[in-house]
Amino acid sequence: MADAVTLAIAADDIRTRVGELGAAISEDYRGRRPIVVGVLTGALWFVADLVRQIEVDLDVDFLLLNRFGEGGRIRLQTDTSVPLVGRDVLLVEDIVDTGLSLTVLRRMIEEREASSVRCAALIDKTTRRIVDVPLEYRGFEVGDEFLVGYGLDHEGRFRNLPDLWAVLDLATFSADPGTFARRVFRTG
Ligand code: IMP
Ligand code: MG
């Protein structure tokens, strides 16, 4: 079991990279007041850290997507609290995998006549892409292994881990996530 999960990206490295992304975003949005729109729930941690590294005046909002089944339909469950018309929207995702969610989101925001739409994702799984979708700011490019931690979950768990972990053997892990939980948390 110890081999089923391995440390992928340490919290320190995440912090450094988020700082670099924040600096690039600060430069690109200089003189504007963007609205950062985080995609719940996974992007919550990334949004919280990223916006504190962005040195321009901005608004923060969230939306919540619902996904039905593997590769199923994507539906907006909770919308932003303010209209996006005429705004410079910076969408923030935890991870871009097939690219389907981001494609749907970008189209939706463009249809609402935002002034501009850009996207930042902490993790990019380029090799898993089904639809080619623009991604202006990416934290890390990874392979196709399943990740947990720093907002990323396995059936709702492990979002609160400060580091990112890679699941090397998803079948073993899924059959018994408790073993990993006991390794990383003060469990029992
Ligand atoms: P996609 O790009 O539409 O395929 O979907 C991206 C979404 O799938 C993300 O927002 C996550 O919720 C989920 N996801 C994809 N890969 C992972 C992973 O490695 N760990 C946890 N969630 C993932
Ligand atoms: Mg997500």
Q: Does the pLDDT of residue 133 top 80, yes or no? A: yes
Q: What is the mean pLDDT of residues 165-188?
A: 95
pLDDT at 72: 74
Ramachandran angles phi, psi of 154, nearest 5°? -120, 110
Alpha-carbon span 133 to 183, nearest angstrom = 37
Q: What is the CATH number of domain 11-145?
A: 3.40.50.2020
Closest ligand 1 atom to residue 101 Cα is 3
Alpha-carbon span 125 to 113, nearest angstrom: 29
Q: What is the mean pLDDT of residues 10-21?
A: 98
How does pLDDT run across 37-88, given as a tens digit for each residue?
999 999 999 999 999 999 999 999 999 998 887 667 889 999 999 999 999 9
Residue 125 binned pLDDT confidence (cut-offs 50, 70, 90): very high
**Percent residues over pLDDT 90 in the chain:** 91
pLDDT surpasses 70 at 26:
yes
Q: Could you tell me if the CB of 49 is within 6 A of ligand 1?
A: no
1 has a pLDDT exceeding 60: no
Q: Which residues surround the ion ligand 2 when the cut-off is CB under 5 Å?
A: 42
**E strands present in 35-136:** 35-40, 59-67, 74-78, 88-96, 116-124
pLDDT at 68: 80
Residue whose Cα lies nearest atom 10 of ligand 1: it is 95
Number of helices and strands in the chain (H, E)? 5, 9
> What per-residue confidence (pLDDT) applies to 70?
66
| Mean pLDDT confidence for 99-103 | 95
Tell me, using a 6 A CB cutoff, whether residue 37 lines ligand 1: no
What is the crossing angle of helices 11-28 and 44-51, to 10°? 60
Structure tokens at 88: 């410079």
- Is residue 2 predicted with pLDDT exceeding 60? no
Measured from the Cα of 130, ligand 1's closest atom is 4
| Rounded alpha-carbon distances, angstroms, from residue 75 to 51, 113, 168 | 26, 19, 30
- Single pTM value for the model: 0.95
Instruction: Tell me if residue 154 falls in helix, strand or coil.
Output: strand
Q: Which helix (H) or strand (E) holds 18?
A: helix 11-28
Q: What is the mean pLDDT of residues 113-124?
A: 98
Going from the Cα of 2 to the center of ligand 2, the distance in angstroms, rounded, reads 27
CA of 32 to the centre of ligand 1 (A): 30
Q: Which of 62, 75, 77, 97 has most ligand 1 atoms within 8 Å of its beta carbon, as the pocket-test mutant?
A: 97
Peptide bond between residue 6 and the one before it cis (omega within 30 degrees of 0): no
With a 6 Å cutoff on the Cβ, whether 101 touches ligand 1 is: yes
Catalytic residues: 97
Calculate the average pLDDT of the chain: 95
